[in-house]
Amino acid sequence: QVQLVESGGGLVKPGGSLRLSCAASGFTFSDYYMSWIRQAPGKGLEWVSYISTSGSSIDYADSVKGRFTISRDNAKNSLYLQMNSLRAEDTAVYYCARRGGIQPWGQGTLVTVSS
């Protein structure tokens, strides 16, 4: 079945780095634009970044621009988010998402930025 599985979260100090991964299965990953979505504790859903099918088109929310880098490996059916210069306000559950059709939400991966 269609599935997205996020991993790589954890506890990191302010200013630190983390790399999130998302493994896709059950669909043709290379056919879909992909995004990262996050949800801070007790807050709503927030779009973070998107990447086109080939990786040639990318954009970021202003809140992460210059600090986060999205990438993908279509051969490995995987999406990534490199997060640098992390701040307390980046604390959230991070989900990967595909554009189009039914969004197969995974369980997300929790990123906690705290000293």
Partner 1 sequence: NFVLTQPHSVSESPGKTVTISCTRSSGSIANNYVQWYQQRPGSAPTTVIYEDNQRPSGVPDRFSGSIDSSSNSASLTISGLKTEDEADYYCQSYDSSIWVFGGGTKLTVL
Binding residues for partner 1 (CB under 8 A): 33, 35, 37, 44-47, 50, 52, 57, 59, 93, 95, 97, 99, 101-108
**Residue closer to partner 1 (CB basis): 16 or 40:** 40
- Helix, strand, coil percentages in the chain from 3-state DSSP, rounded to 5: 10, 50, 45
Q: Where are the beta strands (DSSP E) in 1-115?
A: 3-7, 10-12, 18-25, 34-39, 45-51, 58-60, 68-73, 78-83, 92-98, 109-113
**Residue closer to partner 1 (CB basis): 36 or 80:** 36
**Residue closer to partner 1 (CB basis): 17 or 47:** 47
Shortest spacing between CB 13 and partner 1, in angstroms: 26
Shortest spacing between CB 36 and partner 1, in angstroms: 10
Write the CA distances from 78 to 1, 44, 61, 85, 102, integer angstroms.
16, 25, 21, 23, 18
Shortest spacing between CB 61 and partner 1, in angstroms: 8
**Residue closer to partner 1 (CB basis): 17 or 107:** 107
